[in-house]
């Protein structure tokens, strides 16, 4: 059996709003409830299960591999919303995208300050 990531839990102040944000930005299906979670289904059968967290939220990093066309669509939604974005994970290069590994990538924050990333090519392949 090959080991595959099936799901991960994402802490959120508001699981409905946070899951909707991610689904809308990435162009994914509307989140679905499952028990205490709001789930966002990625195309590789992995779900991000958003759960309300009453305490402080420790920011996490979530990277999404997308096609060149999807990158353009997502980037357009980021700009339409006036969201800040950076070329690097430490947010030192504002308003820029990176071309690491021969692809394109950028970082942006979700409503819980999770560091989200979209990239068109895995960095280790470039």
Residue 106 and residue 98 in contact, taking contact as beta carbons nearer than 8 Å: yes
Residue 102 has, within 13 A of its CA and on its CB side, a CA count of 4
Complete domains list, the chain, with CATH = 7-125 (3.10.180.10)
Burial code (b: 16+ CB inside 10 Å, e: under 16) for 105-124 equals bbbbebebebbbbbbbbeee
- The model's pTM is 0.94
Alpha-carbon radius of gyration of the chain: 15
103-119 tens-digit pLDDT: 999 999 999 999 999 99
9-61 tens-digit pLDDT: 999 999 999 999 999 999 999 999 999 999 999 999 999 999 999 999 999 99
């Amino acid at each position: 059996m090959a080991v595959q990531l099936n799901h991960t839990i994402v802490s959120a102040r508001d699981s409905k709003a946070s899951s909707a944000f991610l689904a809308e930005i990435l162009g994914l299906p509307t989140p679905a409830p499952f028990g205490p979670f709001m789930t966002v289904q990625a195309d590789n059968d992995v779900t991000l299960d958003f759960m309300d967290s009453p305490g402080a939220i420790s920011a996490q990093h979530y990277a999404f591999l997308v096609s060149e066309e999807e990158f353009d669509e997502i980037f357009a939604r980021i700009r339409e919303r006036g969201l800040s974005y950076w070329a690097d994970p430490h947010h030192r290069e504002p308003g820029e995208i990176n071309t690491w590994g021969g692809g394109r990538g950028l970082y942006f924050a979700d409503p819980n300050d999770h560091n989200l990333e979209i990239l068109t090519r895995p960095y280790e392949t470039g």
